[in-house]
Structure 1
């Protein structure tokens, strides 16, 4: 249906639930149902004049549309795909943020203190890093003096971990803009219809217990809330509508040439343009062109991104003089399903084992470390093992579990030996691995340096699902400043041109922290929309 809003509210299917938190990008849901809300139908886009043109209707684009429209701007959103959402729709919706109220029940232990103290002891690489360390040191000293046993956290500590996880390549000002705005953006999302699960956890690669999620554990919840609010504010959203190139006059971006849903070429003249088209993980040629870090990112490596993540916005931006940054840094998500099912992406109550039935990595490590570790295993394959404790924590219905087991998507065992047999791994090795892990939980210490601890794996039945890495996030893109303005090679803002989300670079460095992508998109989308409306 041309020009029709076809937002799909994904059902909480067995796979979607199975991949809660780590990324529902890893497996498309086996079923999807249209929203019960009335669909908004419009004719194909025609030549138009508007205050703000948003290119891309994923999390960043819809966040920009809501922000711009609530600031009084007329808004048109164009999306080349047939549904809204982009990678945000596929995600598990993990949203990292300092949140004193939500994190209050999480306790600080010696291993977590050691993590803080280790980063505080790093030699600063520049003045911005030095100031960040000083800020966190002051906060940490105050925390210790308070006698609190709740988890230590702050926007600056989140920023320091993000900088470190990206090997100190990220721009500190951009990182702080992200981490200092996550809590306000979370509250803004609540105002605009997002409902949150009250439990804060640690998703894969998140490094700290600050990952919030919606009640359905799906990025679809953000898309539903934001698209509904954008249209309430008067924004017009056109699907199957592809921006081809940007218009520019005297150095200012003034709109775009667009192919509408009827296949016609139309022009949208705009006072400001927000680029929010996502990254290029689904563009194999572009991956190969920019990759310098991985042995192979060609056809042999799958991606869990949606098929529209082909780098269009980067190409359009470059054509009008935008500078690019960090294009060589491409992240692999370790958890790309092989068996097809899973319990959750949380690391608190899970271990990763190889086909030999042995642990090989610290499960709460960085995603690039986890991915490389998995690539080094037999057949580049590993299993995530949980028990009933995690089932109870994420509240997966028994019929969903039974379906996954019967379909061969999930392996189950009432005993460790039965689980090993169904997985096809040596039972003696797996039994010893789980026993050793139990001792590590008791000691809050293991040989791999893990610092995020949950329960022992001694609450049967046991479950396992198999995974391999896939291309997940491209850290490079259009260079922006803290106002979400796109910069040229001289570091100057290109008038009328803003960007947000994975189409941008400079924030995550060499490796994105798990749970930072959605807040990145929504925080900078909100900033871009407001500034575009103000023509700042």
Structure 2
């Protein structure tokens, strides 16, 4: 069986649906193949921040920004990774982020912002209202309005090529889907691919589970099979998150209804900051793990056996050590000195920059399931279910190392004050996750997938994490921005391509 459309999009997350809408509004018929039972992808699972310059939100807030300032701030955020940056794609991101915010607003997405996001000089973070499912709702509604056909539970097996080597479609579930003008890969990252993580990062990283179990790198493999190049596959976002809350999250449970979202934006823009912060603290304690500054002040990370696990200066080291435990579980342990320090400004436990900050008392209030307090170390051990003698030995050894000024076990540099003053606290359990993977197919500024020699693979585009192409995206709000921006551009360019004259597949995947 064969089904034909102008533009075929593989993946129905934020980048895929953005590509589909862009192609449709450029005059093409569009079909989306999504392997999951519903669309949304990682976009619908994210916090939802979108970083952009020159937006109407900035204008209303009196922020005078520019594309050049945005680029300069991204250089600062990149730090030592700046030398690896794809500067051409960064410019594409910076120039198109503002217009894409306005496009999203035009289809019903509302934002709170702009809010500061250090080390950026200007406030550029736009936080979606009421939560990240608003992207899925608005994009899906717009796809319906623009006549986009979406087929779910459709995993693509391979790409199709004609006699000239042009990509003309894909095969899924025994059916050939033909894209007369081109195919857009938008399948997310590879954070759920044990094989790709092991190959490009290492076996320790491969053991860490993903936040999105569906991000198995399908588009990476499909693109590479037809000549595409995988670039910068060595960097994952490995970190710790709290176990999911069993309490109802007000913010996450709000429906993404256009009228409600607009009303919410008008309300929150007028709310006193302290009241808005109170509302958002509940979300902070549900979505975000503790700041590493708590470790620098003296906290330690212990596993289910009560022993320290890793160098707490390193997110990567902690994530890999926790993933290596049988339960993928750990606790942050600290004393009253650290608790007092992180109970008030300027030392939050977790942050939503410029909007809200959560402190130790907020965890007691909003997350009693991960908040533990006891008069002694032994009582704390009983509270969290670890061996009391072992935890006592761990704390005593840590205090001795702090006194000596050197961590002989894991080489941590920032020791803090130790753990000497009761009562004692634990936050957890925390689990290890890969939240994002920054590798991607190499693409040009038109989002065409390119070969080793820089020549485009004819008929093939990539967007979002699949087409990240060497971008660093090291600060908050840039992954969502790139998903929507690259999707719009890839869809537009694919739609404007000439119809292929030969739509007969003569080779499949890497077979010919």
Match in the other structure for 2:86: 171
Match in the other structure for 1:337: 242
CA displacement at 1:188 relative to structure 2: 0.9
Q: Deviations over 1:173-193 (max 9, x none)?
A: 111111221111111111121
Matches of residues 108-123 of structure 1 in structure 2 within 5 Å? none
- Contact persistence 1:206–1:515 (CA under 8 A): no
Query: Alignment partner for residue 457 of structure 2, among 468, 489, 494?
Result: 494
Matches of residues 32-111 of structure 1 in structure 2 within 5 Å? 47-99=2-54, 102=57
Q: Deviations over 1:281-300 (max 9, x none)?
A: 11112210111xx67123x3
Query: Alignment partner for residue 324 of structure 1, among 211, 222, 230?
Result: 230
Structure 1: stretches of 5+ with no match in the other structure: 1-45, 108-142, 361-367, 430-446, 449-461
The answer as to 2:375 corresponding to 1:411 is no
CA displacement at 1:401 relative to structure 2: 7.8
Match in the other structure for 1:310: 216
Q: Deviations over 1:348-393 (max 9, x none)?
A: 9966434995389xxxxxxx95444666899885659875888995
Query: Alignment partner for residue 125 of structure 2, among 196, 200, 211?
Result: 211
Change (3 A) 1:355 1:485: closer
Change (3 A) 1:344 1:78: same
Change (3 A) 1:56 1:403: farther
Paired with 2:58 and 2:40, the residues of 1 have a C-alpha distance of 29
Match in the other structure for 1:273: 183
Match in the other structure for 1:241: 154
Change (3 A) 1:201 1:296: same
Query: Equivalent residue of 2:161, what SS?
Result: strand
CA displacement at 1:238 relative to structure 2: 0.6
Paired with 1:82 and 1:212, the residues of 2 have a C-alpha distance of 29
The answer as to 2:477 corresponding to 1:515 is yes
Q: Deviations over 1:45-74 (max 9, x none)?
A: x62221100000001101101111111111
The two structures have a TM-score, normalised by structure 1, of: 0.62
- Contact persistence 1:275–1:499 (CA under 8 A): yes
Query: Alignment partner for residue 231 of structure 1, among 130, 144, 153?
Result: 144
CA displacement at 1:468 relative to structure 2: 4.6
The answer as to 2:167 corresponding to 1:253 is yes
- Contact persistence 2:35–2:155 (CA under 8 A): yes
Change (3 A) 1:405 1:478: closer
CA displacement at 1:479 relative to structure 2: 0.8
CA displacement at 1:475 relative to structure 2: 1.6
Q: Deviations over 1:296-324 (max 9, x none)?
A: 123x322212x221111111111211122
- Contact persistence 1:95–1:212 (CA under 8 A): yes
- Contact persistence 2:55–2:102 (CA under 8 A): no
Paired with 1:369 and 1:414, the residues of 2 have a C-alpha distance of 28
Paired with 2:35 and 2:290, the residues of 1 have a C-alpha distance of 40
- Contact persistence 1:159–1:176 (CA under 8 A): no
Paired with 1:276 and 1:157, the residues of 2 have a C-alpha distance of 28
CA displacement at 1:522 relative to structure 2: 0.8
Match in the other structure for 1:533: 495
Change (3 A) 1:199 1:350: farther
CA displacement at 1:497 relative to structure 2: 0.9
The two structures have a TM-score, normalised by structure 2, of: 0.65
Change (3 A) 1:480 1:222: same
- Contact persistence 1:59–1:85 (CA under 8 A): yes
Match in the other structure for 1:180: 95
Change (3 A) 1:383 1:177: farther
Matches of residues 384-423 of structure 1 in structure 2 within 5 Å? 393-394=355-356, 405-406=367-368, 408=369, 410-411=370-371
Paired with 1:321 and 1:375, the residues of 2 have a C-alpha distance of 33
Change (3 A) 1:97 1:372: farther
The answer as to 2:421 corresponding to 1:480 is no
- Contact persistence 1:332–1:469 (CA under 8 A): no
- Contact persistence 2:448–2:460 (CA under 8 A): yes
**Aligned residue pairs: how many?**
396
- Contact persistence 1:274–1:499 (CA under 8 A): yes
Change (3 A) 1:374 1:499: closer
Query: Equivalent residue of 2:160, what SS?
Result: strand
Change (3 A) 1:484 1:162: farther
Matches of residues 1-40 of structure 1 in structure 2 within 5 Å? none
Aligned-residue CA RMSD (Å)? 4.6
Query: Equivalent residue of 2:449, what SS?
Result: strand
Paired with 2:318 and 2:59, the residues of 1 have a C-alpha distance of 33
Change (3 A) 1:207 1:198: closer
Query: Equivalent residue of 1:494, what SS?
Result: strand
Paired with 1:348 and 1:182, the residues of 2 have a C-alpha distance of 28
CA displacement at 1:210 relative to structure 2: 3.0
- Contact persistence 2:33–2:154 (CA under 8 A): yes
- Contact persistence 2:190–2:197 (CA under 8 A): yes
